[in-house]
Structure formats: C-alpha cells, structure tokens
Structure 1
C-alpha cells in the first residue's frame, strides 16, 4: 500500500512540476503557407530556377492538401517575364537571346497562375519606365504601385521571402 501511495505522490509531483518527456510539436495544418518570391533580375537561367522552385513548392502543398498563398513580385529587369513587348528604347529592352525562351517562360508562368493559383504582381513604377500599358501584360498579372513596397508589406503580413540566387 505504501508503494502505491508513493507512486501516486510521485506521479502527482511530476504533473505539478511539469516534468514530462518532451514531445515534438505537430505542425498546425490550419496555418496558411504564405511565400513571396522577389523577382528583379534579367538572367533567364535564374528565372528558370525560380519557376522550378515555385512549381515544386505549390506541387508539394497541393499533394499534401495544404492551403497556400504563393506570390511572385516582378520588379525592374524582371518585367520582361510578364509581357511579350520588346520595350525598345527603355532600360528594359529585351535582348534577342531572351526571345528564344519567351514562349516557354510565358506558358510556365501562366500554368503557375491558372493551375496552381500563384499570384503574379508587377511594380507599376517598372511598368511605367518600360512604357507598357496594362493591356501589354500577360493575363493574371496584377499591377501594384511599388514592387519593393509590396514585398515589404507581404513580409509584414507573414509571408516568407525567397529570392533565387
């Protein structure tokens, strides 16, 4: 009887003091996965890697049946990825070497937007400098007043920042 009483007292002491075996926290599947990809570069190989990363991410989330909000914010030289215009005479004039990949990039970007619900956002300052009208942009591209401000706002709102190097 003494042993049982001692065991009960010992267990009660453990509960009171909080001494327990640590257990790894389970991820909360109700938490939104929010990610912003900052795209401000001209290098098509780097953009290719960005598209691969975005696709892999949303594919994983979909396979796991997880909610997500993935955005790509285009600034500066990256304007070339959201239009078919050459932007001749602007700082964003498209080099001929890029033209051979434009259709491929357009199709992949539109698949991300249409099939995987990735949101595409372009800096309006960049659009104006590139002498583009909103009609010159691909479908699904939303214009935001300032790309860098948008990236900062998204980070403030809990988005994780990714910039492929």
Structure 2
C-alpha cells in the first residue's frame, strides 16, 4: 500500500513539475484562399490557440503563411484584415506573417503594377516550401 502511495505521489509530483515549466507549441497556419472569412478564421485560430496555451502556462510560436489567392491577406490596400494583422503584430511578438514571393511575382506580372506587402509581413521565397520547412521543424499544421 505504501508503495502504491509513493508511486502515485511521484507521478503527481513529476506531472505537476512538467506542467509548471510549460512547453512551447509551434503552429503553422496556411492561407491560400482570398475569402475574408478564411482569413479571419486563420487569425481567430492564431489568437485562440495563443490565448489557450498561454492560459495553461505554455508558450506559442505562430506563423501564418499565405500564397496563391490567400496572398491578398498581406497586400497593402487590398487586405480585408490589415487592421487585425497590425493589431496582432503589435500585441503578439511571437507571430510571424509570411508572404509567398512566387505568388507576389506572378501577381505583379499579371497586374503589371507594383504590389506591396503589409509592413507586418515578411516575404519568403516560396509559401509551400516555407510550410514544408516549418513542418520539418516540428510545427503543427493548421488549415482553416
């Protein structure tokens, strides 16, 4: 009986210690749709995951990657969620917004005009390749 009690106390103590330290969750969110509802869902997913994990003492590193029609999310004068992105970037320093250079280049050629990404976004060579790199680095993949 004492052995069982000691084992239970040891398990409880170890589990409590692990929870007290917290862990880091890495999340990659993929946006390839120009629908404002999808963009808002991606931002909601990021905010909600961050709030939950922080509430239990964990930390979160988030990256939202947009390409194809979803790149509109990060385009100046076109993004329907630019205000939310600006607010998130100011509030959360653990969120990165990644815009696909391949898509940007094709859109510039088709539209024959300069396109700029939001100041909060970072241009990456390839959105698809970036998502692969993130998953290989242990990020969980989310597609709203």
Question: Normalization by structure 2: what TM-score?
Answer: 0.77
SS in 2 for 1:42: coil
Q: Report what 1:121 is aligned to.
A: 98
Question: Using the alignment, how far apart are the partners of 1:83 and 1:157 within structure 2?
Answer: 27
Give the number of the structure whose residues are more often strand, by fraction. 2
Q: Residue 46 of structure 1: CA displacement? A: 1.8
1:39 matched to 2:31? The reply is yes
Are the counterparts in 1 of residues 71 and 104 from structure 2 also a CA contact under 8 Å? Answer: yes
Give the number of the structure whose residues are more often helix, by fraction. 2
Are the counterparts in 2 of residues 36 and 71 from structure 1 also a CA contact under 8 Å? Answer: yes
Cα gap change, 1:37 to 1:156, in 2 (>3 Å): same
Question: Using the alignment, how far apart are the partners of 1:58 and 1:133 within structure 2?
Answer: 34
- Residues 37-57 of structure 1 deviation map (CA, whole Å, 9 limit, x = unaligned): 011111111222221111111
SS in 2 for 1:138: coil
Unaligned runs of 5+ in 2: none
Question: Using the alignment, how far apart are the partners of 2:107 and 2:143 within structure 1?
Answer: 22
The list of structure 1 runs, each at least 4 consecutive aligned residues, that deviate by more than 6 angstroms after superposition, is none
- Residues 72-118 of structure 1 deviation map (CA, whole Å, 9 limit, x = unaligned): 001110111111345xxxxxxxxxxxx8xx2xx11111122221121
Question: Normalization by structure 1: what TM-score?
Answer: 0.68
